[in-house]
């Protein structure tokens, strides 16, 4: 799974335990993170077969159903996940967390195990609808924001972050047999799956990555005004999330879109420009200089 976070652990795009996180919301955010992190490990860690992973995720879903039914200790057969589901059950009760969003994350983990091909962009966005968008909607729920416009912008940001992670990790995923580049995009640029799997850098693969980065950047900019709608420290945190994603795209561009052979990273030197760009965001203009792609 690709949603490794900045903060506690590595479940992306999930700003866990950030200094900007409102203290009152820290317990539910950490509980959701631990739920997702443990499921991610079932889907992606160790040497289990796909069938074994799917069986484990099925049991994990049964434990989630119990947690949604009430704040009670899971039965003995779920004891290995007690530290996940006991706090999660309390937060589901206290904050009325929507169970369908939690189940959607499990749907995405199961999809990762099955590792299907993605024929077009719509099929990849459908995956993002389960793998990434529920995270943003859960966070908006915790902040009491539920209008349709905000939810749509949240989906744009979360899907963009997922796509950015794919293009950042292209040279890591493809050799492992994880192919998130839509087949129609590959065909348009004359790039084969074998070229991606073997990390064969070329003008064609770079043109492909450039176009994919432009797609992700446009989605991020469409969702970015949400960061100015969310109040307080959470809004500032979201600004940094948006600018962090755009910064990665910028770095991919500086590599000549050769992320098939080089993986860009954010580091300490990126913090000052990220802070400046977050501070400079306005409702009508979301710093066009940040984007990597035209």
Instruction: Return the pLDDT at 77.
Output: 66
Q: Collapse the DSSP code of 18 into the 3-class scheme (helix H, G, I; strand E, B; otherwise coil) and give the result.
A: coil
Rounded to whole angstroms, the Cα distance separating 270 from 196 reads: 29
Tens-digit pLDDT string for the chain (294 aa): 444 332 333 344 444 445 567 788 899 999 999 999 999 999 988 789 999 999 999 999 999 999 998 766 666 667 889 899 999 999 999 999 999 999 999 999 999 999 999 999 999 999 999 999 999 999 999 999 999 999 999 999 999 999 999 999 999 999 999 999 999 999 999 999 999 999 999 999 999 999 999 999 999 999 999 998 888 888 888 999 999 999 999 999 999 999 999 999 988 999 899 888 988 886 434 444 344 443
Identify the residue whose tokens are 């962009």: 121
pTM assigned to the model = 0.88
Cα–Cα distance for residue pair 88/27, rounded to 1 Å: 9
Per CATH, domain 116-294 is 1.10.600.10: yes
The pLDDT value given to residue 3? 43
| Pairwise CA distance, residues 105 & 88, whole Å | 14
Question: Across-strand partners of 192?
Answer: none
Q: Please, where in the chain does CATH 1.10.600.10 lie? A: 116-294
The tokens of 188 are what?
């348009």
């Amino acid at each position: 799974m690709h949603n490794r976070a900045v903060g506690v652990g590595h479940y992306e795009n999930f700003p866990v335990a950030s200094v900007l996180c409102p203290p009152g919301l820290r317990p539910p955010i950490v509980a959701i993170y631990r739920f997702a992190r443990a499921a991610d490990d079932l889907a992606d860690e160790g040497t289990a077969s796909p069938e074994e992973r799917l069986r484990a995720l099925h049991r994990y879903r049964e434990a989630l159903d119990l947690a949604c039914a009430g704040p009670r200790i899971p039965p003995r057969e779920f004891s290995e996940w007690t530290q996940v589901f006991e706090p999660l059950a309390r937060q589901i009760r206290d904050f009325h967390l929507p169970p369908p969003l939690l189940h959607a994350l499990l749907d995405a983990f199961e999809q990762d195990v099955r590792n299907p091909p993605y024929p077009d962009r719509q099929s990849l966005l459908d995956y993002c609808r389960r793998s990434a968008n529920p995270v943003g909607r859960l966070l908006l729920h915790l902040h009491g924001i539920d209008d349709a416009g905000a939810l749509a912008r949240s989906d744009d940001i979360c899907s963009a972050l997922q796509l950015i992670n794919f293009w950042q990790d292209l040279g890591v995923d493809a050799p492992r047999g994880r192919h998130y580049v839509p087949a129609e995009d590959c065909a348009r640029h004359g790039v084969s799956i074998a070229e991606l799997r073997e990390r064969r850098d070329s003008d064609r693969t770079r043109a492909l990555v450039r176009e994919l980065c432009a797609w992700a950047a446009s989605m991020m900019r469409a969702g970015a005004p949400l960061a100015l709608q969310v109040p307080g420290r959470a809004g500032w945190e979201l600004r940094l999330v948006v600018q962090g994603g755009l910064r990665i795209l910028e770095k991919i561009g500086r590599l000549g879109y050769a992320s098939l052979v080089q993986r860009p990273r954010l580091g300490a030197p990126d913090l000052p420009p990220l802070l400046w760009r977050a501070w400079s965001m306005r409702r009508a203009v979301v710093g066009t200089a940040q984007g990597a792609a035209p």
